[in-house]
Structure 1
Amino acid sequence: MYHCIYHILSPLLGYQIRRQLQWKIELTYHSPVPYQSIHLITFEKLYRLGFNYKEDYITYIEYGDYMGEVIHRKIQRTGGTTYIVSLPKKWVEKHNLKEGDFIILVIDEDEITIKTEEERREELSAVIDVKDIDPRLMERLVISYYLAGYDIVKVVDKKISEEYRSHIKKIIKKKMIGFEVIDEDIDIIKVGSLVKEKELSLDIAVSRMFKIGRFLLEILPDVILEHNESNARLIIQTDDDMDRLYLYIIRMVRKTRDRSFDVGRLIITSMLAKALERIVDHIVKIAYTVIEISKPIEKNIRKMLYNILHISSEIYVSTYNAYIHKDIILANEVISRVKNTSRKFDYITNKLREDEKLSSEEIIHINTILESGKRICEYSADICEMIIDLNISNISTTSLFLNG
């Protein structure tokens, strides 16, 4: 039995899959089979989003006529320094290629994508007429085109005000990695990418997000213990770097999707980046809380908060290690640990609420710190589930069971 699911993937990724490359799956009822080297776990996520079949096992995935077909080729060596791999005959004939024609090799860290010259992506350019447009709407439009993968964005008007010019440059600096003003006149500001985006791959960008979170969590417990407002402000300033990396990853996911049939990995990567961004949002929230407190909380309570936030930091570092080493055993251990840690957060929260020595203002601030610390752990657990999803092929034999 086949079910076309392009209508589910489309809203999830923000674009429509071409009908000739419809994604299909075969569902075999009550018949689990060993895992067959395809990211089946991806479809568990789709199930949660509305793919409603109960007690089904996914056993096969098909991508159109050729997509997803695995063809083995032996590497040949000629002339001592040249390596040759033959192209599939059906693919060559389909694209009317002949001897002497050029093809394009898109080289990634661990894969090579082959394209015909006709498939070369044209430069995407957008024009925004800002006449009578609110600056906030203009900002959203510029960022939207950036996220959609556009290479050039032109902001035009009869005479662009200095307010608009400074606002656009501020957006670029705070939100858009690799984008700069490349042309400017009285009636136009042209912004675009001046760097090779391949130099900052998705994996490298995600690793950078992890490292920013790790750095912030290393100093956060001391911010609480010492009531260090200087380091609290440092944490707040770093939030812009995290936002830029997250937006860059979303941009690259959308640009990569058209030449990758591992859409499942792209989906999980964007979800993982969002979880990392939310973790830093909660770290920043705690930093703001420290600054807003009119006077330092009692030392013994700060010590208690220090200890519990140190546990959050340890959980996050373990999550990072699981990601770097593709360690699904460690990821599973983190998920289990988070369940116990969440109960500790709830216990401390309830205990401090009953402390009559604390003012209502102090209770509110303490609750904010504890809630954000708990959410850091829970997002870490979510990331560990994604790490397992991404590395499911490391399991020798498994089957995917879709449950409600």
Structure 2
Amino acid sequence: MQIVGGSTYILSLPKSWAEKVDLKEGEELFVEELSNQALLIYAPERREHFSKAEISFTCKESRNFIERTIIAQYLAGKKEIVLHASDVECKKTLSSIADSLKKKVLGLEILEETSNDIVLGAILDTTFSDITHVINSMMKTIIYMLEDLAIGLRKNDLKIIKDIYQRDDYIDRLYLYSIRYLVNIYNMPTQERINPSSSVHYALATKSLERIGDHVSAISKNLEVELVQSNINDKEKEGILNLINSIKDLESQILKLVLKFDGELLNEITEKAINLMNVESELRVSLLKYSVNLSYVAESLRRIIAYSIDLLESVLDINVLQT
């Protein structure tokens, strides 16, 4: 590093890097400071080259493989994904898959269609301006799902119970969006700058929330079966309701911790989660005598508590890295 004129610092760029990104003399570069005081150097006009993906399919590939391939490009941050079909029948299959993915992937829309091609675009608004907003939305959705789960069980209302597991799709969409966001957080100048080491912990946090959503959905499906068959007596119902409400309160406290970290609150919540594990163990023994589905309900409640403990660990790790 050199000083010119007593106040300007000059640092030469590696020739190999400049040639790799095809930089020429006189081109404008942007320099941004990251949260860990590192500097990000980039040429904004060169980003567009990496924002588009083109994939050819014969449709001999499995539907799951095609879906995962498209989702992988979405997670990589592609703004435009062009699907090339080998023939008309394959194009029909790709259209069907694209329609299905719109329900699973936040912001993914069909922009154009030709006889052989489908152009998908990631059209994302600014609703989630930072990763904390994504986590907040996931947590609030889970809290409302747990609240409605208790209401549906108390009232024996199948409509409410059925509606709960349909909301799990929204949790999944937010999870995929969170991974896309974190993967590309240092490639998009408009996004927040978090400590690079925090990214993995944010990813673990959203994964824990995605798994919690899955288990709330599983509980609603198993309770639906039990309500239809009228297998739940008042004592069993009360035990399940009490634990669901306790877990809902646990998630609400974790949300407060996400919004504002507090070491004492973290210890208090962790202790509460461990105690709930013991409550679940006793409940599961009781429920197993009556129904396999009810024992599955208890097991899912246990998994929710376990993932909540994982979430607390992620919140602590993020706080440590930010201070």
Normalising TM by the smaller chain, what interval?
A: 0.7 to 0.9
Partner of 1:231: 160
- Kindly state the Cα deviation for residue 151 of structure 1 after the two structures are TM-superposed: 2.1
Q: How far, CA to CA, are the matches of 2:99 and 2:165 in structure 1?
A: 21
Alpha-carbon spacing, 1:199–1:219, altered in 2? closer, same or farther (3 Å)? closer
1:214 paired to 2:146: no
Q: How does 1:69-80 map to 2 (within 5 A)?
A: none
1:317-332 maps to which residues of 2 (within 5 A)? 317-332=252-267
| Whole-angstrom CA distance in 1 between matches of 2:164 and 2:216 | 8
Q: Distance in 1 between matches of 2:111 and 2:278?
A: 53
Equivalent position of 2:100 in the other structure: 170
* SS of residue paired to 2:50: coil
1:347-386 correspondence to structure 2 within 5 Å: 347-353=282-288, 358=290, 362=291, 364-386=292-314
C-alpha distance after superposition, 1:178-201 (max 9, x if no partner): 221111100100112233569543
Aligned 8 A contact 1:268 1:390 in 2? yes
| Kept after mapping to 1: 8 A contact 2:78/2:122 | no
1:276 aligns with 2:202: no
Q: CA deviation at 1:242?
A: 0.6
CA distance in 2, matches of 1:107, 1:194: 27
Aligned to 2:41: 115
> Is the contact made by 1:316 and 1:377 (CA closer than 8 Å) also made in structure 2?
no
Counterpart of 2:180, as a letter, is: R
From the superposition, tell whether residues 342 and 107 of structure 1 become closer, same or farther in structure 2 (CA, over 3 Å): same
Counterpart of 2:136, as a letter, is S
Q: Which amino acid aligns with 1:332?
A: N
**Mapping of residues 106-145 of structure 1, within 5 Å:** 115-117=41-43, 120-121=46-47, 122-131=49-58, 132-145=60-73
Structure 2 distance, partners of 1:110, 1:261, is 8
More helix by share: 2
**In 1, Cα distance between the equivalents of 2:120 and 2:32?**
25
Is contact 2:36-2:195 (8 Å) kept? no
2:80 — aligned with what? 152
- 2:223 alignment partner in structure 1: 290
User: Bigger shift: 319-328 or 260-269?
Assistant: 260-269
Q: 1:281 to 1:381 in 2, by over 3 A?
A: same
Q: Deviations over 1:111-166 (max 9, x none)?
A: 99653427852333222222133333211211111112222211112324434312
Q: 1:308 to 1:113 in 2, by over 3 A?
A: same
Percent of paired sites with the same residue: 22
Residues 198/230 of structure 1: CA separation in 2 closer, same or farther (3 Å cut): closer
Cα offsets for 1:264-310 (capped at 9, x unmatched): 21000000000001111110000000112222411222112111211
Residue 30 of structure 2 corresponds to which residue in structure 1? 104
Q: How do residues 76-87 of structure 1 correspond to structure 2 at under 5 angstroms?
A: none
Check conservation: 1:236, 1:288, Cα contact below 8 A.
yes
- Native 8 Å contact 1:345 1:374 kept in 2: yes
Matched position secondary structure for 2:184? helix
Structure 2 residues not aligned, in runs of 5+: 2-6
Tell me: higher relative CO, structure 1 or 2? Use CA pairs within 8 A at least 6 residues apart: 1
- Further displaced range: 179-188 or 225-234: 225-234
- Correspondence for 2:274 among 336, 339, 343: 339
Tell me the amino acid that sits aligned with residue 127 of structure 1: E
Query: Which residue is equivalent to 1:76?
Result: none
Q: Deviation digits for residues 229-285 of structure 1, max 9, x if unmatched?
A: 111111111111111110111111111256868332100000000000111111000
Equivalent in the alignment of 1:266: 199
The SS at the match of 1:133 is coil
Match of 1:309 in 2: 244
CA shift in 2, pair 1:200/1:113, >3 Å: farther
The verdict on how the C-alpha distance between 1:88 and 1:326 changes in structure 2, with shifts beyond 3 A counting, is farther
What residue ranges of structure 1 are gaps of 5+ in the alignment? 1-64, 66-86, 396-404
Whole-angstrom CA distance in 2 between matches of 1:207 and 1:214 = 10
* Cα separation, 1, equivalents of 2:301 and 2:212: 9
Segment drifting more, 225-234 vs 252-261: 252-261
* Cα pair distance change 1:112/1:182, threshold 3 Å: farther
Paired residue secondary structure (1:192):
strand
Secondary structure of 1:150's match? coil
Counterpart of 2:4? Answer: none
* CA distance in structure 2 between the aligned counterparts of 1:317 and 1:115, rounded to whole angstroms: 40
Q: CA–CA distance in 1 between the matches of 2:314 and 2:296?
A: 27
- Whether the 8 Å CA contact 1:249–1:270 is kept in 2: the answer is yes
Structure 2 partner of 1:14: none
Does the 8 Å CA contact 1:332/1:384 hold for their aligned counterparts?
no
